[in-house]
Structure formats: structure tokens, C-alpha cells
Amino acid sequence: MIVELFVLAIIILFAGTIFPLIAASLDRRSVRTISLSCTIVASILLGSLSLMVLLSGESVFFSLYQSLPAFSLSFVIDRLASFFLLIIAVVSACVALYFTEYIEHIDGQSRRNLLCSCTSLFILAMVLVVASANTLSFFLFWELMAASSFFLVMYEYSQYDTRKAGIFYFIMTQLSSLFVLLGIIVLYVMTGSFSFLPLTTASAPLVTVAFLALFVGFSIKAGIIPFHKWLPYAHPASPSPISALMSGVMLKIAVYGLVRFLLDVFTPDLWWGVLILAAGTASAVLGIIYALKEHDVKGMLAYSSIENIGIIFTGIGLSVIFTASNLPLLATLSLLGALFHSLNHAMFKSLLFLTAGSVVSATHTRNIEYMGGLAPRMPVTSALFFVGAVSIAALPPLNGFASEFLIFISFFSSVSVVDPLFKVLLFFCLALFALTSALSAACFVKAFGSIFLALPRSPESAAAHEVPRAMLIGPGILAATCILLGVCALQIFAIVGLTVPLPDMLLVSLLLLGMAVLTYAMLYFIASREVRVSETWGCGTFSQQASAEYSGHGFSEPLDIIFSAIYRTRTINERTFFDQKNCIFKGGTGEIRLLKVFEEYLYRPIAQQSLSVAKVVSRFQNGCLDTYLLYVFVTVIALIIFLGWFA
Amino acid sequence: MNFDFVLYLVINTLVVIAISPLFVSLIKKVKAGTQGRQGPSVFQTYFTLIKLLKKEVIYSPNSSRIMRVTPLVTMAAILVAALFVPLVFVPEPIGGIGNIILFLYLLALARFFMALAGLDAGSSFGGMGSSREMSISAIIEPTTIIVFAALAFVFKTLNIFDMFALTAATGSPATPTLILIGISLFIILIVETSRIPVDNPETHLELTMIHEGMILEQSGRNFALMELSAAVKMTVLMALLINLIVPLGLTTSLTFAGILIAVIVFMVKGSILAGIIGLFESSMAKKRFFQLPSLFAMAFFFSTLVIIIEVFS
């Protein structure tokens, strides 16, 4: 049953990939709708099959194709895989639904068919990565995922920024694949098989190499600082639904990879946990601090993804630390926190990216300083974005809170870790973790406030109107999921058969609702009911103007100053004067420059080193046929000698 | 949910709503006293609230639904948060009510809405208040969580009900660790309720205010709700401090006489703390906004110290 459903879903997704390619030159809406419908149907199938596996807890193994004795195209769907399949399914279905309408509003005529095709291929690749039963097919589909996502990022290739982002993304994602491949090969050398089997040798140096390679590979893909730079480039460059898919799902595939290898292959050391925890905490704090500074709405969401991936890695790191300290219960709890946060982040981040896409298509700008006043103009979109903002700010009773709560509980329970020094480290990380979630609340107050509230700050924003219905239903489903996963978190865990120390959010929500209703009723009976809409105090001006408003930049200014050491902003002031005592001002320039620390000090030196190496290597490739023939000849001779000696 | 717990919900909510305006007035009275003024009556806050309830609400034409729901959401969130801190009677916790992290985040929920409402009308004062409030709340957060972690560490529980039940059972004056935590809690109380040296609740001078700036656009019954919720929040945080350090009078059994005594004892303890807050506020000037991080850093190191002492002892 499950195997058939899975194969059917794969076939439908494949059809969704092929069909628009066949009709590539037909610029018809129907072509794209059919392709996207295929994605929706396949997602529903995948979602139902993963729910079946999640609830029953049985894993399914099946082999489709045996090419070599060492390698077969086989799949396994266990609880972990089905959980991530569920994430893919829900987000893909909603994104595809949104895409059916969104794609008709973007440029590119028949090129849009290719966009549909690539989207299907991308989703297909992600599904196959998660379901892969051996490391080699895992890697192959990982590459397919990387390649298809590169084409998606490059959709608007005519723009310079997009090309730059695309190349950046391509290099980072290939680096990631390289490291993953290295890890897989090291594992193969040690065990002689490509299967996800536990290692027998506990802590050989090679195991550490394999872990580090895989960790770096997955970190690059997940956007862990310092490998994060591709996210804020690639997300604004690609179409919004693609950003939603990449941020909501693709980053989780990297999380899946890490968790899969940690659980099935390795027996982790304590310091691995510390490494993952440190990387996670640093990403979480720095990610949200950079997000606060960002005024490109999609760039801001990209940085916030870095933060959330940091939170997920924090949970995984804690889990590894607890496993190594022989505290299996706590390890399970923090891993559950990390996985639940993966699910929640997928929901609210794709919701936010989709609604941000609606906003961008309505206002034709990505800069939040030119938005404002959209709440009355786009009431449903603003309500949906609001749900996402409350979720991501980890406020009760929505889902972001539920998963961060689990990680908080794990931190608070770290008392039982034996080593006192570790306790202090964990408390320090706890403080940073708390800072992260408080800053994300500040960040999303700024985002929602600047985009939707007050007066419009540009004519485009003033003329914006609500998007078509299909672009509301997709995010609407995601918003409903956010609410459901938060309010019923405890009940959902109970259905899956897990007991977690979550508070009963349903009770808390009911209490909140009850208190609000009581307050309203009390006011209704005892207070005045008069309401007037009239100009309020505007500093003595006759009527309020958008230019006098508090802008997004102004909003984050206090935090900018407090964290100025991290932002490394340089204020350059040059003034000239008429007189020698610098009294009479002549003219001058002022500039605030944001130093891109990671690019200046990490990426650029590495890139320059690679370039100089490449220059040396390129001498071998002079384009002359004779030289190449010489290479072949030398190689053949070398091989013959080699074989003659050793064979 | 048993009968005791339902009764607890009713008692706690009624007590907190009834008492909280009194504490606000008391602080004002003490501050007036230190300035050589007579000050308004201790019931002034009640009168103000009643007056506000009778006034009409004015919404700016630029404001959206956020402005309209914020007072209700804020009040509801603060009232639910108030249920997490038993003032007079400690029942058995049910369904995670009393969890200290959830308590903190309910306060954050109220703040989130308030900050959005500050931005909603498009006035620059509101935005200024929101921006400062969110910045301050973000940088005090590590301290708060470390203090709460220290509490959880000392009491071996995350539930405020269990903590209070423990202190009420011993009934003795606090241990040195608890007093250290108490000092940190006091700093958090000052920050969270926007008092000097962080914010000035008296002033309506635009450049110095934070919390008041944020709710500048509120009027009529909505403003009454904002004022009352701020008072309730202060009382709840005061109760957290009081019932941990001086649990005297806190009852765990549900009897009429016990509750009555507990209410009276709580009012006395609360009045004393209100007096201390008033004196504390009068004894110093408001700090410059960008000097606050160093103040918070001090509080942070202080609470970390507690943890380190606890861990290594």
C-alpha cells in the first residue's frame, strides 16, 4: 500500500516535470496549471502515506532497481523519513497552490513552463533524498536537488543581482555536495558498503573525518554561520514560492541528513555535540541580529531562516551532548524539540515567504521602507503574515513557541549533565538562546509594523490591493497548520505516542479566549461604548504624513547601536570648512558603511586563493591539441609502467 | 480540572485586579512623599480607571485592526499570566499552568501586541516607544532567563506553583541564594514594569518615555485596559518576588479564613515592596538609554554568578 502510493507519487511528480518540457513552447496557463496540479496531487499522496507511517510506526523498505551489486536504487520510509516527507508534502502542496496564481503574474512567457518543470523536479529530488536507503543514492539525489534548485534561483537570469546570487549559490551548494561526498566516501572506505548502518569502530580518526566532512556539508546547505552567505543572496533573487520551498523545505533536508547520519551511522562523541551546539547558537544569535538590520523583506526572512536553523542545530547539539552523557530521555526530548521546530519552521517560514511574495507583487518593491499601510489594503494577507510573525516570534499559543519550549526545557534540564563546566556552558548558551527569541520578536514587530501598519510610504504601497484567492488559500492552509500545531501540540504528540513535558496549550488558549471574552463582556456592560475615528496627536502638524513616521530603520536603530560591535558599521564623516578654525561649514559627506565581515575576511581570501591556484592549473590547459595528445600519451605510458610493476 | 482549581482561577484573578491599582498609587504616594509633596490619594488609580472607562475611544484614521484588538489581547494575556503566579492560595498545578517559561512568554505576547499598536497609528512617538520597548525587552531577556533557570535549579522544578508550595511549606526566611536571586528578580521587576532608572512612568515628555510612548495613542476604555494590565503585570511580578522570598501567609489549603488572612498579609507585604520600589525610584535618576545595556550586563553577571555558585557548591 505504502510502496504503491510512494511510487505513484513519484510517477506523478515525474509527469509534472516532463509535461511542461514537452509543451515548452506553449505559453498557456493550462500547461502550468496541470504541472502544478500534479505536484499538489503527489504532495497529498505523499502526505497521507507519511502520516500512515508516522502513526503506525512501521518502516517500509523496498528496492526499485538493482544496477550494481554494491548499489541498488532502494528506498526506506521509516518514522524519521516519513516525518520529513510530511514537511515536504505540506509545504509543496501549499506552495504549488499559491504558484498556480503567482506564476501568471511574473514575466518570462513560456519560460514559466520550465519553472514549473524545475519546481516539480526539485520537489521530486527532495522526496528521493529523504527516502533514500543508501548513502550513494542519497548523494545522487542530493546533487539533483542542488542542480534543480540552482535553475530555480536563476529564473530571472537577465538581472545582474540574480546572476551573481545564482553563481554564489551554485558554488556554495557544490561545496556542500563535495563535503557530503567526501564523508560518504570515507564511510565507504571504512565499512565497504553504502548502507546507513552503525559503524563498528567507535572513534577512529577516520570516523571524525567523516563526521566533520558531513557536518560541514550539511551546514553549508542548511546555512549555518559562517557558511550562510548564500541564503541572503539566493532568497531575494528567486521567485517567492521558490524561496518558500528552499527555506521551508530544502534547509530541512540538510537537517534530515545530519540527524540521519548521527542516529543511524555514528556513535557521537561529546565534543561533536558541543560543536553542533556552538554552531547552532552562533547562527541563531548572529542570524537574527543580521535580520534586524535587513530592509529587504526577503533578505530579512532569509536571515531569520539562518536563525531558525541555528535553533534546530542547538536542539540537535543538545541531543548529542545528552546522548554522550548517557541521558537518553533528555536526548530524545531535545531531538524532538529540534525536529518539531523543523516542522514548525517549515510551516511559518513558507507562510511568511508566500505572503511576503504577495506583498512584493502588490507593491513592486522588496524594501520595507517603501511599504506601510498595507493592513487595510490587503486585509487577508496581513492577517496571514501576522499569524506567521506571531509563530516565528515564539509567542504562545502558536507553534513556534511549542517547539522552542521543548528546547528551553532541555536546557533547563541540563542540570543533570554531570560535568559542572558543561553546565555553565549550557547556561551560557541558554542565555543566548533566550536573547535570540526576544530579538526575533523585535524583528517581526519591525517587519509587520513597517510592512502593514501606519501610512503607506510610497505611491505603489498606497495603490496596493488584495491578491487573488489562490494566493490566499495556500498560505491560509499553512497559517491554520501553524495555529493547530501550536494550540494542540500536546494532543498531537499524544496521538503519535510521545509524552513530552509541554504545557497544555489548548487549556492556555481557552483561558486566553475566556479572559478576552470576559473582559469584552465586562467592558460592554460597564464602560462607554462610544467610538470615534479622528485625527490623533501628530506633534502639532495639521495632518499626519508618512514621512514623519517611525521607519523600519529607525525602529532597529537602538539595537543597531547596542550591537554595533557585531555589525561593524563604519561611520565616515568628511567635512570641509571655509575658515581654518573649522567654524564655517563648507560642505561634506557622510556615509554609514556596513562591513560584510564574513565576506571580507573569510569568503574573499578563500576565493582569491582558489583563483591563484586555478591560474597555475590553467597553464596545463593551453587549448592546443598537441599538448593534450601529449598528456594522453604520458598517461598511457605511466599506466603501462604502473601495471607492469604492480599487477 | 477540579473544583479547587476553578476556584483558584476566580480568586486569583479577582484579587489581582482588585489590588493592583492600589500598589500603583502607593508607589506614587511614596515618591510624592520623598519629593515633599502630599501626592494624590492612594485610591487615585481606581478613580482614574473609572473615569477612563466612561470616556469615548478615539482611533486614528490610519490605525488598523491591531489597534482595536490590542487592549483586549494584552489584558487577556496578562490576566492569564497572572494565573501562573498564585498570590494567596497555591493549588495543585494543572496542565502546565504555572510553567515559568510560558509565564515569561505570555508577558512577551502582550508586549508584542502593544509594540505593534504603538506603530499602528503612524505617529513617531508610538514608534519610538515600541522600538525602545522591544530593544530593552530583548537585551534584558538573557538575564531574565538565567534568573528563571537559577530558580528552576534551586527548586528543581519549572512550575511556579511548586516553587511557592515549597517556600510556603518551609515558611522560613529565604536562603542566601534565594536572596541573591531576589535581587536579580527586583531588577527584572524594575525593567519589566518600566520604572526609573530604565523608564520614567511619570513623564509624558516624548523623548524620555518608553512604555508611555507606546500607549500614547490609546484612549478611553482601551487606555483603561492598558493601564490596568500594566498594574496587574507589576503586581504579578511583585508577587513572584514576595512569595519566593517571604512566603509568610501563603496558604495551600482552601479555607475562607486562610484565604482572607493570606489576602491581608499579601497586601501588607505588597505595600512594603511598593514602598521600597518608590524609595528606589526616588533615589536615582533615569539612566540614558544607551547606558542601559551595561546595567543589564551587571544584572546578568550577577545572576550567572548565582548559577555558578549553585553549580559548584
Predicted pLDDT of residue B313: 66
Between A217-221, A250-254, A335-339, A503-507, the lowest mean confidence (pLDDT) is in A503-507
Q: How far is B34 from chain A (nearest CA, A)?
A: 33
Distance CA A389, CA B266 (A): 39
Pairing of strands A60-66, A585-594: unpaired
Which residues pair with residue A576 across a beta bridge? A587
Q: How far is A568 from chain B (nearest CA, A)?
A: 17
pLDDT tens readout for residues B177-214:
888 888 889 989 999 998 888 888 777 666 667 888 88
For residue B231, give the amino acid letter. A
Between A278-287, A420-429, B66-75, the lowest mean confidence (pLDDT) is in A420-429
Phi, psi of A134 (to 5 degrees): -135, 165
Residue ending a domain, among A513, A547, A563, is A513
Triad A512, A514, A518: Cα angle to 5°: 120
From A390, A412, A446, residue closest to B158, measured CB to CB = A412
Predicted pLDDT of residue A69: 66
Closest-CA residue of B relative to A491 is B95
| pLDDT above 70 as % of chain B | 96
How is residue B104 written as a grid cell?
515569561
B294 and chain A in contact, CB less than 8 A? no
- A428: chain B residues, CB-CB within 8 Å: 304
Average pLDDT taken over every residue of chain B: 89
| pLDDT above 70 as % of chain A | 98
B267 and chain A in contact, CB less than 8 A? no
- DSSP assigned state of A134: B
Predicted pLDDT of residue A514: 95
Q: How far is A94 from chain B (nearest CA, A)?
A: 27
Mean predicted confidence (pLDDT) in A108-113: 84
- DSSP assigned state of A627: H
Q: How far is B125 from chain A (nearest CA, A)?
A: 8
- Cβ neighbours of residue A564 closer than 8 Å, sequence gap 6 or more: none
Mean predicted confidence (pLDDT) in B132-161: 90
- Residue A475 included in any domain: yes
Q: How far is A532 from chain B (nearest CA, A)?
A: 5
Residue ending a domain, among A496, A513, A530, is A513
B115 and chain A in contact, CB less than 8 A? yes
Same structural domain, A320 and A462: yes
Please give the interface size between A and B, counted as residue pairs whose CB atoms are below 8 Å apart. Answer: 254
Contact A267, A202 (CB under 8 A): yes
Q: Do A528 and B221 touch (CB under 8 A)?
A: yes
From A431, A539, A562, residue closest to B124, measured CB to CB = A539
Domain boundaries, position A505:
268-513
Contact A88, A127 (CB under 8 A): yes
- Is the pLDDT at A545 greater than 80? The verdict is no
Closest-CA residue of B relative to A529 is B56
Instruction: Tell me how crowded residue A570 is: count the other CB atoms within 10 A of its CB.
Output: 10
Give Cα B212 distance to the centre of its chain. Answer: 15
Q: How confident is the model at residue A402 (pLDDT cuts 50, 70, 90)?
A: very high
- Is the pLDDT at A251 greater than 90? The verdict is yes
- Residue A278 included in any domain: yes
Alpha-helical runs (H) found in chain B: 3-34, 44-54, 65-83, 100-120, 124-155, 160-170, 176-192, 211-214, 220-245, 256-282, 292-312
Mean predicted confidence (pLDDT) in A314-330: 92
CA atoms within a 13 Å half-sphere pointing along the CA-CB vector of B39: 20
Predicted pLDDT of residue A482: 95
Same structural domain, A495 and A618: no
- Is the pLDDT at B123 greater than 90? The verdict is no
- Residue A389 included in any domain: yes
Q: Do B58 and A555 touch (CB under 8 A)?
A: no
- B111: chain A residues, CB-CB within 8 Å: 441
Q: How far is B244 from chain A (nearest CA, A)?
A: 19
| pLDDT above 90 as % of chain A | 60
Q: Do B138 and A438 touch (CB under 8 A)?
A: yes
Q: Do A449 and B55 touch (CB under 8 A)?
A: no
Burial class (CB in 10 A: 0-12, 13-18, 19+), A459: exposed
- Residue A255 included in any domain: no
Q: How far is A71 from chain B (nearest CA, A)?
A: 49
- Residue A71 included in any domain: no
- A411: chain B residues, CB-CB within 8 Å: 149
The dihedral region occupied by B54, where left means phi > 0, alpha psi between -120 and 50, and beta the remainder, is alpha
Q: How far is A405 from chain B (nearest CA, A)?
A: 7
Predicted pLDDT of residue A202: 61
- A376: chain B residues, CB-CB within 8 Å: 64
Mean predicted confidence (pLDDT) in A412-440: 86
B290 and chain A in contact, CB less than 8 A? yes
Q: How far is A438 from chain B (nearest CA, A)?
A: 5
Query: What is the tally of structural domains in chain A?
Result: 2
Closest-CA residue of B relative to A553 is B131
Query: What is the tally of structural domains in chain B?
Result: 1
- A395: chain B residues, CB-CB within 8 Å: 105, 108-109, 112
Q: How confident is the model at residue A262 (pLDDT cuts 50, 70, 90)?
A: very high
- Cβ neighbours of residue B42 closer than 8 Å, sequence gap 6 or more: B22, B25, B26, B29
B102 and chain A in contact, CB less than 8 A? yes
From A395, A434, A519, residue closest to B225, measured CB to CB = A519
Predicted pLDDT of residue B180: 83
Distance CA A33, CA B43 (A): 67
Q: How confident is the model at residue A363 (pLDDT cuts 50, 70, 90)?
A: very high
Residues 164 to 203 of B: which have CB under 8 A from any A CB?
Answer: none
Q: Do B131 and A376 touch (CB under 8 A)?
A: no
Predicted pLDDT of residue A154: 92
- Residue A346 included in any domain: yes
B96 and chain A in contact, CB less than 8 A? yes
Can you tell me which residue has the cell 513617531?
A: B124
Domain boundaries, position B202:
3-312
Q: Do A408 and B101 touch (CB under 8 A)?
A: yes
Predicted pLDDT of residue B183: 86
- B99: chain A residues, CB-CB within 8 Å: 503
From A375, A420, A502, residue closest to B312, measured CB to CB = A420
Nearest Cα neighbor of B273 from B306, B246, B233, B300 is B246
- Residue A445 included in any domain: yes
Distance CA A81, CA A85 (A): 6
The dihedral built from the CA positions of residue A98, A100, A105 and A107, taken in this order, carries a sign that is positive
Predicted pLDDT of residue A26: 82
Predicted pLDDT of residue B172: 65
- Is the pLDDT at A220 greater than 90? The verdict is yes
Q: Do A446 and B307 touch (CB under 8 A)?
A: no
B8 and chain A in contact, CB less than 8 A? no
Q: How far is B41 from chain A (nearest CA, A)?
A: 23
0.95 exceeded by the pTM? no
Q: Do A548 and B124 touch (CB under 8 A)?
A: yes
Nearest Cα neighbor of A259 from A127, A79, A427 is A79
- Is the pLDDT at A148 greater than 90? The verdict is yes
- Cβ neighbours of residue B88 closer than 8 Å, sequence gap 6 or more: B11, B12, B15, B249, B250, B251, B259, B262, B263, B266
Closest-CA residue of A relative to B313 is A420
Higher pLDDT, A269 or B78: B78
From A445, A534, A546, residue closest to B116, measured CB to CB = A445
Q: How confident is the model at residue A203 (pLDDT cuts 50, 70, 90)?
A: low
Distance CA A240, CA A45 (A): 25
The dihedral built from the CA positions of residue B234, B235, B236 and B241, taken in this order, carries a sign that is positive
How is residue A385 written as a grid cell?
503574515
Same structural domain, A502 and A612: no
Same structural domain, A508 and A601: no
Closest-CA residue of B relative to A507 is B95
Average pLDDT taken over every residue of chain A: 90
- DSSP assigned state of B219: -
Can you tell me which residue has the cell 593551453?
A: A622
Phi, psi of A62 (to 5 degrees): -150, 155
Predicted pLDDT of residue A84: 95
Chain B interface, best mutation among A428, A429, A531, A545, by max B CB count within 10 A: A531
Can you tell me which residue has the cell 511619570?
A: B202
Nearest Cα neighbor of A390 from A352, A341, A340, A338 is A352
- Cβ neighbours of residue A141 closer than 8 Å, sequence gap 6 or more: A125, A128, A129, A132
Triad A415, A417, A421: Cα angle to 5°: 90
- Residue A391 included in any domain: yes
pLDDT tens readout for residues A587-630:
888 877 777 778 888 888 988 999 999 999 888 887 788 888 99
Predicted pLDDT of residue B4: 84
Closest-CA residue of B relative to A454 is B122
Q: Do A539 and B77 touch (CB under 8 A)?
A: no
Can you tell me which residue has the cell 475566556?
A: A514
Residue ending a domain, among A490, A513, A536, is A513
pLDDT tens readout for residues A15-65:
999 998 888 888 888 889 999 999 999 999 999 999 999 988 888 888 877
Nearest Cα neighbor of B16 from B213, B240, B214 is B240
Distance CA A559, CA A552 (A): 12
Predicted pLDDT of residue B263: 92
Same structural domain, A610 and A495: no
